[in-house]
Amino acid sequence: MVEPHLLSKHVVLVDDDPALREMVGAIFAQQGFRTVTAFAAPTDALAYCREARSRGEEVHLLVLDVMMPLMNGLDLLERIRLVPGMEKVPAVFLTARDEPYDRIQGLGLGADDYIAKPFLPQELMLRVLAVLRRCYAQESPELDLGFCTVSLDTAEVTRPDGVVALTAKERAILATLAQNRGRIVTIDSLSLACWGDSFGYENSLMAHVRRLREKIERDPSAPEALVTVRGLGYKLTLR
């Protein structure tokens, strides 16, 4: 079940393909999102974002196609970032292009995820929800994992045999998983939380998760709290 406060977030979708706009809009509607404003022209979306504050409206998420005429999605995001109040609004790219350079450029502009077409509706929604939870959910200061408790404020694990400190990356992994407790968090989303990029960090993430399990699990080889969801990512189970 999606948290009600996330379903109230205002999504702005920009894609010049009418079939894709209709499909993505339907995916958000089926999930229960109440406000999705769609545009075919990037210039119209930019004008809308510029005028939103004067109308008393707020944009919470941008979903942008990359390959569009006159202005591509990368340029559009760069211009939207210059609009007062829009500097940190999360953004997700939808594109048929999945080249590493495009990913790096888009993420460098402040995009939170990059999804290549074609995609499954479930994949789109899982990744969009992961972005929204990371940006709009409050993290719990203390996590009860059964075998131990974790303080995100002090980055310490209290175990039966004493207290163990977390590294910055380990804390970032736990905080992101805690914001999505009981739900799958993709490898890309965890990489973004730790390194600010989702490309090329899978092996590093696996190494950090392995060391983190040594600190928070009763048996790291048979994890109960931080579990792997094969082919998708990880999830955290709290008491």
Q: Residue 34: pLDDT band by 50, 70, 90 thresholds?
A: confident
3-class SS string, 131-200? HHHHHHCCCCCEEECCCCEEECCCCEEEECCEEEECCHHHHHHHHHHHHCCCCCEEHHHHHHHHHCCCCC
Tokens 């203390």: give the residue: 142
Specify the pLDDT at position 109. Answer: 64
Nearest to 69 by CA among 106, 110, 40: 40
pLDDT at 104 exceeding the cut of 80: no
Tens of pLDDT, residues 62-90: 999 988 888 988 899 999 989 988 888 99
Tens of pLDDT, residues 120-148: 898 899 889 989 988 886 555 688 998 99
Tokens at residue 127, please? 């990744």
- Specify the pairing of strand 10-14 against strand 35-39: parallel
In the chain, beta strands by DSSP E:
10-14, 35-39, 61-65, 91-95, 113-116, 142-144, 149-151, 156-159, 162-165, 185-186, 226-229, 233-236
Q: Give start-end residues of each CATH 1.10.10.10 domain in the chain.
A: 142-236
* Class of CATH domain 142-236: mainly alpha
Cα separation, 94 vs 89, whole angstroms? 16
Choose between 45 and 143: higher pLDDT.
45
Q: Which fold has domain 4-136?
A: Rossmann fold (3.40.50)
Specify the pLDDT at position 176. Answer: 85
Q: Residue 26: pLDDT band by 50, 70, 90 thresholds?
A: very high
- Asked whether 174 and 164 are in contact (CB, 8 A), the reply is no
Q: Give start-end residues of each CATH 3.40.50.2300 domain in the chain.
A: 4-136
Specify the pLDDT at position 140. Answer: 54
pLDDT at 102 exceeding the cut of 90: no
Q: What is the pTM of this model?
A: 0.58
